[in-house]
Structure 1
Amino acid sequence: MIDNELQRRDTLATAEKQATELNTAYLAAAGVEPGQEWKQPTSAVDAYPKDWTVTFEGKTFVSLTPANVWQPPNGWREIVEDGGVPEYVAPTGAHDAYNTGDHVMFDGAEYVALQDGLVWSPADYPAGWEQQA
């Protein structure tokens, strides 16, 4: 009984890493590489792992969640080069909420998140954001 519990805990501790490794290996075998154009996954097997990059509509995005099957920008964060700031995208849940220090452009102004787990825009929850000068 104790051995079963220890095995269960070990499985829980390593399952996400193993699933990500298998997912990454499957994508590589299918010829899918980070930075390529986003393609709709057909199942969890060819879903994008966390931190995987894709291009979509001329922009580069990074996956915020393991087994990501969502079309950017939901579940993804835009990568902006040269110190640029990405446009605000309404989060669909905790997996793509904004966290302390995240910068966004909203209605032509730059804002920085003042707390973790922000799912509201600067207009909907001004106390969670600080407009930058």
Structure 2
Amino acid sequence: MSDKYSGLEAALRSARMTFVSEANAGDRTGTEIIACEDLLPAWTKAGPKGDGSHEVGEACTHDGQSWRCCQAHNTNNNPDIEPGKSPAQWAPYHTTDPTKAKAFIQPTGAHDAYMKGECCLWTDGKVYRSIMETANAYSPAAYPQGWEEVTAAGDPGTTPEPGTEPEPETPTEPGTEQEPGQDPETGGEETGETVPAFVQPTGAHDAYQTGDRVTYNGQIYESTIDNNVWSPDTYPQGWEVVEVEDGGAA
């Protein structure tokens, strides 16, 4: 082997060792670690020292996920401990990069919860970002208010194929603008029949804004706040009753 390739291999080994050392010391973020997870060693029962010991901070990959050891243990004494099966000892790294999002793993505590901005791949094939100010231990299905949809998985920033661009909207003719509160079909006053049923928002992108109306439990409600992701009974302060669904005043 030439000195050229020997030098390159030495540089790569050095870079790998530096990265792993920084990851083990906690000097790398989850986003950085997942972006370069190919540099991490694969998990083994024997561990880095070969004696079954795993120390707090140890970073590794296992079953397509990057992990960090959060509780020291020895697999010689505890042979069943394994990343993905032992949440008390191993926690997954999370990333803020939606294009690198990993499958959602149910948190068991603050040590493995999702922080604001961190992403996950949910079972519907879509990527979600945590929008909670505090640690998020809920799935996108269990608590939709804690997440916002980012993009379809594996389809970040997709551009339409030639000839498939959406048609431009037809401009509204002067004098035909719809007045607030008018029925979009008839131009008359909005009635209970034209108000859509409440649909639980999944994030900021489909939240209700001030003035939006919905039918809910036989009544028509109007949102009094922007970015409203709560139902009228979950957060009554964010809604006011406009009228009952049969058209009578509230």
Normalising by structure 1, report the TM-score: 0.46
Structure ID, larger Rg: 2
Greater relative contact order, per chain length (Cα 8 Å cut-off, separation 6+): 1
Structure with more helix by fraction: 1
